[in-house]
Structure 1
Amino acid sequence: MFKLVIVTDSDRASGFRLAGAEVYEADGMEEARAAIPPLLHKDDIGIVAVNEEYMLGLDEKLMDRIEKMHRPLIIPIPSKKKEVDRRTYIERLLRKAIGYNIVLKR
């Protein structure tokens, strides 16, 4: 069975640990950049969730490699600083995961 791994700041780390996820705390962009690449090569990891702020700061070469990978799946955790339209966010994740645009209706 594959693991869920979270790369996040110390404010959110405890909540993810309580949920049973393996958590890597990064107190800044540099720590996140150092923590993510080794996770991409571990065979037991299925999903890596990364703070959106950290994802936006990754270099282009690493982002290209992430987009071409099938596993682990790298997903952003929405920023707590900005208001996110949840429906649009979920549609964007689905489009990226399966390659199709799915419209969610109530």
Structure 2
Amino acid sequence: MAYRIAVITDPETATGFRLAGVEVREAADAKAALEHLRALVSVDYGLLAVNEDLLQGTEDEVARLMRDRDIPIIIPFPAPKAQLESGEDYIARLVKEHIGFFVKLR
């Protein structure tokens, strides 16, 4: 039997997964994510990757859903956090990553 992969994530990160060819279900909050999980666990999915921010406070419910199932495997993934940094901070961080030292730019 061939299993499918799906991602449950917020609308901001859904586009990137769609561009990679992954089936995506969008959820704005934990309640919507749980609704998607309930719908997908009984279908032919082998892996469900879920934005970890959407699983906050739902651990008991997810455990109940998966109690008597081996598949699908539910994997939480960290949501990317937008970082706003100045161009100078960005360059300084890149220099530090490559040479191992912080260099103060003027």
TM-score category, normalised to shorter length: 0.5 to 0.7
RMSD (Å) for aligned C-alpha atoms: 2.1
Identity %: 35
What TM-score results when the alignment is normalised by the length of structure 2? 0.66
* Residues 47, 75 of structure 2: 8 Å contact kept: yes
Q: Aligned in 2, Cα 1:68/1:75: closer, same or farther, shift over 3 Å?
A: farther
Structure 1 residue 21 and structure 2 residue 28: aligned? no
User: Alpha-carbon deviation of 1:68?
Assistant: 5.1
The aligned residue for residue 69 of structure 1 is: 69
Structure 2 runs not aligned, ≥5 long: 82-106
Which of these two proteins has the greater Rg computed from alpha carbons? 2
Q: What are the Cα deviations for residues 41-79 of structure 1, in whole angstroms up to 9, with x where unaligned?
A: 11x211000010122231514324426531111000113
Structure 1 runs not aligned, ≥5 long: 82-106
User: Alpha-carbon deviation of 1:34?
Assistant: 1.4
* Residues 17, 24 of structure 2: 8 Å contact kept: yes
What TM-score results when the alignment is normalised by the length of structure 1? 0.66
